[in-house]
Amino acid sequence: EAGVAQSPRYKIIEKRQSVAFWCNPISGHATLYWYQQILGQGPKLLIQFQNNGVVDDSQLPKDRFSAERLKGVDSTLKIQPAKLEDSAVYLCASSLVQGGPTNEKLFFGSGTQLSVL
Amino acid sequence: AQTVTQSQPEMSVQEAETVTLSCTYDTSESDYYLFWYKQPPSRQMILVIRQEAYKQQNATENRFSVNFQKAAKSFSLKISDSQLGDAAMYFCAYRSLAGYALNFGKGTSLLVTP
């Protein structure tokens, strides 16, 4: 079974530039998550999709971050303009279960490491 | 909001020995889920073990087991017969029944020495 695919693996940009990350979840997984992991911390949820609808984006800095999941499959996370504090690993995860939350297993990608100079 | 605390930034264990990683959490909910995730240098988070709060029996997965103390809000991970491949960051996470997001602790870096 193919895992969660993310690209690019690394990205270096200057502040005020824009950047985009791509995620392709496991086939058939309805739920997709974007997490931000700053160095020395645990991942923090940015946004969750159920199919192509947003379930939770309460911690997404909407003035600079945007995300979409067209056709309920792959997803793109964008930052425009980037700030120094956006330097982090951006992890994508997916899970199979639809409907209410359960203890279902999340499958994570290997993330994109962003450095903002 | 629920908070998860991992008070051990780093731990070290010798190969074949046993190590326990600590985790405490703060919640007012009676039912929830708890998880331990492993993050090797590849950055991919891997589920190690999960526990439903309504289950009194501690979860086990091969060499990994938990000590779940609901009243104390404690959820420690025990790794028996440690192997070099166990070296990684370990994150404790909380998930509410009412919510979707995993709340992670700051992690514990586990070093395994030969």
At A95 the pLDDT is 87
At A98 the pLDDT is 58
- Residue A103 forms part of a structural domain: no
At A70 the pLDDT is 82
Task: Name residue A53's beta-bridge partners.
Answer: A50
Q: B57-108 pLDDT, tens per residue?
A: 999 999 999 999 999 999 999 999 999 999 999 999 999 877 667 899 999 9
pLDDT tier, B2 (very low <50, low <70, confident <90, very high otherwise): confident
Contact B43 A111 (CB under 8 A): yes
At A108 the pLDDT is 93
Task: Name residue B88's beta-bridge partners.
Answer: B110
Classify residue B79 as exposed, middle or buried by CB count within 10 Å of its CB (0-12, 13-18, 19+): buried
Q: B12-24 pLDDT, tens per residue?
A: 999 999 999 999 9
> Per the structure, how many domains does chain A have?
1
- Chain A touched by B64 (CB under 8 Å): no
Distance from CA of B44 to the nearest CA of A (A): 4
At A71 the pLDDT is 84
Between B44, B95, B101, which is nearest A109 by CB? B44
Rounded average pLDDT per 10-residue block, chain A, 117 residues: 91 97 93 94 93 90 94 94 97 78 78 97
Q: B25-45 pLDDT, tens per residue?
A: 999 988 899 999 999 998 999
| Domains (range + CATH), chain B | 3-109 (2.60.40.10)
At A1 the pLDDT is 61
Distances (CA, A) of B99 to A49, A74, A103: 13, 23, 11
- Residue A102 forms part of a structural domain: no
- Residue A115 forms part of a structural domain: no
Q: Which domain holds residue A91?
A: 5-97
Between A45, A109, A113, which is nearest B101 by CB? A45
Q: Where are the beta strands (DSSP E) in chain A?
A: 5-7, 10-13, 19-24, 31-37, 44-50, 53-56, 65-68, 75-79, 88-95, 107-108, 112-116
What CATH number is attached to the domain comprising A25? 2.60.40.10
